[in-house]
Structures are given as structure tokens and as C-alpha cells.
């Protein structure tokens, strides 16, 4: 067991995949000589060369389209898009090609590619680079969506992503890159669709993914000081979603607070709330609560940015209101 940073867990897993399989190639803006916008690919160009670590032009549609073609041709490409908002420039390639080719070919074509995107606010990247659009991609059949929270998640889920026969959207919260955590030794994986109970509790279930798990964890500490025992659920993937873990926890605690950095209206938190209502309505002692980002473009100013995001206190207050 070693304690490493989130970005280092990703880098080690990528290096491992490159060493294990000559078909693995990486394409993206500034991933080579610069080492990646978040230093995740640092050192890989020097070790594996420009034929496998390829700096791309600033054209996301071309980069993703190239990755799709490479995957169809027998390679296992990993595409890095600097932030999730840039993926909108490749939305047609992702949604209409990568996600659908296996279905439309009757399974004759597979697209084994990973598209990594940085997401979330809290790093002062302002309104155009602070989106949390995970729910958009979870809406699309044909792709899987991983949203790791810890270095352990990052390593285990990325290993699984490299074995997937069709596209995986791998979303990394910018505020997590420097965060450290323990990563098990050995060749472990984390299956998609397997949520993690980070904290056992009996009074309310706090449900989050990626960066929102951190705020929910802090809220659980605040609730404990008030004598409220919260159970904390880290979803890990949004598609497939571990519906069974959500329902099991809510049936145990009889209350739920869903936490999401994204805007509340039309967000993925609403999907989780609907799943709870459909699967555990008779077990609920209060309506499902949602604590989400403010309905505004994310401000650049630090204080305003933090005010636009869910806080531990807001989550704790929402949980106490259910009591």
C-alpha cells in the first residue's frame, strides 16, 4: 500500500498499459513535450516516443475522429481532451460515431478507446472551463462513464477502462489531481458499476461522485458532531450505475441527499432521485434532497466560485432538514 497523488495514480496506470500492450497509443493537446496540462502524462514521451505519445493540433473533432479510426483499425487509443467543455467540439464524433458503431454494425465493429476529460470547478478556470457535464455523457447508450474520486479509484477504474471493448469517457475533477490517497499494491481493478460505501451510517445516505464526494465527506463529519450518522456512497461510475447500492443504502437509512457540482435543473442528481423514488419509495421517511451547483456560469473570482459550488455546510443542513 502506497500513498500517491491522483495524477500519479493515473500516470502509473497509463505507463503500465503502454508497457503491456503495443497497441496502446495516446493522442492529445500538449500531452507530449509539455507533459499534459495537469502533468498527468509527464515523462511518457521521453520513454515511449512520438509514435505512441502524439501531440495533436487544437482540433478536438479531428483528435477524437482520429481516435475512433485508430480503434476501428486495431489500436487502443487514449484521447486526452484538456477540459470537458472542449469535448463539445467533438460531440458528434463521440455521440454519433464512437457510441453507435458497435450497435449499428451488429457487433462487427468495436471502438476500444478511452477519452479522458478534466471536469469540475474550484480551480479558478472561469465560466468556459469549469463545467460538470458528466450527466450528458451518462445519458448516451453505447459509452461508459467513469468518475473516480480517489487515487485508488483512478488506478482501478483506468485499468478496467483499458480492457473495455467500446468507448469509455473517463472524467477527472481538476481539484483532485494533487490530492493524495492510499493505493493497494498489486494488479487490482475496480469493476464498472460498483459503488463504494466510504462511511457506514444509519440516519441518512449522502450520494456523490468525483469531486462532490469530498464535500459530502466533510458534511458527514459535521453531521456526526450533531449526532447524525451519515452513510457516504461514492458512485465511481455513472454508466453503468450501481442502482442496487443506492437502493440498499436508502432502504437502510430512509433518507437521501444527492450531491453534484453540476447545475440542479436537468442534472444527473435528478436521475438518482428518480431511481430512489422508483426503487425505495416505501422506505423513505422524507423526500430526496439535492444539493447542487448554483444556476449560474461559474465565476472566476475565488470567493464567488466557492459560493457557486455545494459546500459541506449546505449538505449537512439539507440532511438535518430531512430529520
Residues designated as active site: 60, 129
Q: Report how far apart, in Å, the C-alpha atoms of 296 and of each of 117, 135, 137, 201 are.
A: 22, 17, 21, 33
Q: With beta carbons less than 8 A apart as the criterion, state whether 228 and 203 touch.
A: yes
Distance CA 287, CA 178 (A): 36
C-alpha distances (whole Å) from 188 to each of 157, 183, 184, 192 are 9, 10, 8, 13
Rounded to whole angstroms, how far apart are CA atoms 118 and 172?
5
Backbone angles phi, psi at 45, to 5 degrees: -60, -45
Q: How many CB atoms lie within 10 A of CB 16?
A: 16
- CB of 261 within 8 A of CB of 309? yes
Give the 3-state secondary structure of residue 218: helix
Tell me whether strands 180-183 and 196-199 are parallel, antiparallel or unpaired.
Answer: unpaired
Distance separating the N- and C-terminal Cα atoms of the chain: 39
* Cell numbers that stand for 56 in this block: 495533436
β-strands 256-263, 204-208 pairing: parallel
Torsion of CA 39, 70, 59, 129, to 10 degrees: -50
Amino acid at each position: 500500500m502506497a500513498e500517491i497523488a491522483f495524477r500519479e495514480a493515473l500516470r502509473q496506470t497509463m505507463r503500465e498499459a503502454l508497457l503491456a500492450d503495443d497497441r496502446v497509443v495516446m493522442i492529445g493537446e500538449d500531452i507530449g513535450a509539455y507533459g499534459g496540462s495537469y502533468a498527468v502524462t509527464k515523462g511518457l514521451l521521453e520513454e515511449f516516443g512520438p509514435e505512441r505519445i502524439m501531440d495533436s493540433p487544437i482540433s478536438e473533432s479531428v483528435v477524437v475522429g482520429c481516435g475512433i479510426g485508430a480503434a476501428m483499425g486495431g489500436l487502443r487509443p487514449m484521447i486526452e481532451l484538456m477540459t470537458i467543455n472542449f469535448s463539445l467540439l467533438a460531440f458528434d464524433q463521440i455521440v454519433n460515431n464512437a457510441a453507435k458503431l458497435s450497435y449499428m454494425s451488429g457487433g462487427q465493429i468495436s471502438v476500444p478507446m478511452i477519452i479522458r476529460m478534466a471536469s469540475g470547478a474550484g480551480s479558478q478556470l472561469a465560466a468556459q472551463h469549469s463545467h460538470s457535464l458528466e450527466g450528458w455523457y451518462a445519458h448516451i447508450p453505447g459509452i461508459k462513464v467513469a468518475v473516480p474520486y480517489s487515487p485508488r479509484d483512478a488506478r482501478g477504474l483506468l485499468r478496467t477502462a483499458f480492457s473495455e471493448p467500446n468507448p469509455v469517457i473517463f472524467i477527472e475533477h481538476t481539484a483532485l489531481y494533487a490530492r493524495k490517497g492510499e493505493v493497494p499494491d498489486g494488479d487490482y481493478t475496480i469493476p464498472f458499476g460498483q459503488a463504494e460505501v466510504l462511511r457506514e451510517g444509519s440516519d441518512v445516505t449522502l450520494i456523490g461522485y468525483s469531486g462532490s464526494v469530498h464535500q459530502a465527506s466533510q458534511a458527514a463529519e459535521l453531521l456526526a458532531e450533531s449526532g447524525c450518522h451519515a452513510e457516504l456512497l461514492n458512485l465511481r461510475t455513472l454508466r453503468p450505475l450501481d442502482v442496487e447500492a443506492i437502493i440498499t443504502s436508502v432502504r437502510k437509512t430512509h433518507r437521501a441527499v444527492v450531491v453534484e457540482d453540476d447545475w440542479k435543473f436537468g442534472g444527473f442528481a435528478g436521475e438518482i432521485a428518480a431511481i430512489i423514488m422508483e426503487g425505495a419509495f416505501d422506505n423513505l421517511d422524507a423526500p430526496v434532497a439535492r444539493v447542487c451547483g448554483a444556476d449560474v456560469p461559474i465565476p472566476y473570482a475565488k470567493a464567488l466560485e466557492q459560493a457557486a459550488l455545494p459546500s459541506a455546510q449546505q449538505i449537512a443542513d439539507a440532511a438535518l432538514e430531512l430529520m
